[in-house]
Structure 1
Amino acid sequence: MEIFMYGEMEINYLKKKDKKLSIAIDRIGKIEREVTPDLFTALVSSIVSQQISNKAAATVWGRLCSLVGEVTPKSIVEADINDIQKCGMSVRKASYIKNIGEKVYGGELNVDEFHNLSDDEIIKELSALHGIGIWTAEMLMIFSMQRPNVVSWGDLAIRRGMCNLYHHKELTKTQFERYKKRYSPYGSVASLYLWALSVES
């Protein structure tokens, strides 16, 4: 299992920039979050996981892996869309997965090139695909590419974590942007702690 890599440099920077976050980091300790380095696998997994529980997503993912073996552009292209749907997803989700498989397998979309693109360029490329929005692109940048500075406004748990940390009943976009700028260039590590804080009452 690969985990999101960070260390003392990022921790010390964030603690220096934000006293409340510093206290939370000391209390929570090191966070280990699994990453999926293969971007295509991560893309398909993200579509499977949309709007369903983690448990349900794991079940559907297990069935998809049983159907196609290793999840690759070739195995997705060769699978029948009806069989993909029977793994436990909607026709729409199955078509999204099939479409991305065809684009990558046919060379229309080169996910290997993403490592040479900026965060904004990656979001633009991915959100142009059916079934992939800005939030999904941001999660892929963290949990597949390990990009260092991603804090997602579209993630409700991130915003809830900020509310819990800074004692806001509601969070404005202006407040969010101020905190995001404070965490830069290590926003992704801050995000890990905000997720942990989001479940605290």
Structure 2
Amino acid sequence: MASPNTSATGGYLGPVSAEPLDDLALDSAIAGVIAGITGLAAALVIPRDQPSQPRIPDVTTNWVSVGVTVSTGDDTPSQIHHPDGDGYTILRAFYRLDVMAMFYGPKSDGYAKLLRDGLFIGQNREAMRAQSLNFVSVDPLRRVPEIVATQTRRRTDLAFRLTQTVERKYQILNVLQADGTIRADASGKIELTPFLSPLPPA
């Protein structure tokens, strides 16, 4: 729920923009990237940590489980003021996402390599940027076979990193009035002690 406050009212400010991709929606968006690059059916690219876990495919099926494991925001998000109308400010932050994709099935290695290579293709990265995502780097493939009953389930893990651009709109209004004092000494140094207000003059 958007905060009713603005820079004119004081108090805490919350964003008034649409929520960015996060939580399961973010995992699902990354799952869509993997499905698009590898050609696996969307139903076989399964986001982790769902409220209701889908049935796990059998050992003969190629599929992948994917999810964000770490999300690290930058320490210096930018704030860009737009003077349109009463004015507003966009806070733009970049998050580094550590993603783990665990490929299962007889061709787990092949699909993991297909994803790894496809992340470097410019057209794929362009499609990712449309969702405010961009590719950063990828780790070596790791084979982690599992024993299920008396069968070996082939598994290949691929960790990679993306950046996510997050923009939030805040009601930080234009400054319409400034009261204060301007002092200049003999050297020409100027000191300003203003009080700024977004309210129009009385």
Q: So what's the TM-score if we normalise by structure 2?
A: 0.23
Structure with higher Rg: it is 2
| Higher fraction of strand | 2
| Higher fraction of helix | 1
Q: So what's the TM-score if we normalise by structure 1?
A: 0.24
